[in-house]
């Protein structure tokens, strides 16, 4: 799976792959990845706003 496809799934822009194995640990890992990506995007947005203002 490509990195952009995985990112789209994390950010709910694309439906998850139905053939992928669904274990509890994978759900935890994807949840943590989702949180870290969203926090990173939020930090970039804050830095951009501070730079503009």
Each of the 53 residues of the chain gets a pLDDT tens digit; together they read: 678 887 777 777 777 777 877 888 888 988 898 899 889 999 999 999 999 99
Q: How many domains are contained in the chain?
A: 1
35/44 Cα distance (integer angstroms):
14
Which one, of 27, 33, 45, 29, lies nearest residue 8 by Cα? 33
Residue 44 pLDDT = 96
* Domain extent at residue 33: 3-52
- pLDDT at residue 1 in the model: 60
């Amino acid at each position: 799976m490509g990195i952009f496809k995985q990112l789209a799934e994390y950010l709910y822009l694309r439906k998850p792959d139905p053939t992928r194995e669904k274990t509890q640990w994978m759900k935890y890992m994807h949840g943590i990845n989702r949180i870290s990506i969203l926090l990173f995007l939020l930090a970039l947005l804050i830095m951009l706003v501070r730079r503009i203002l």
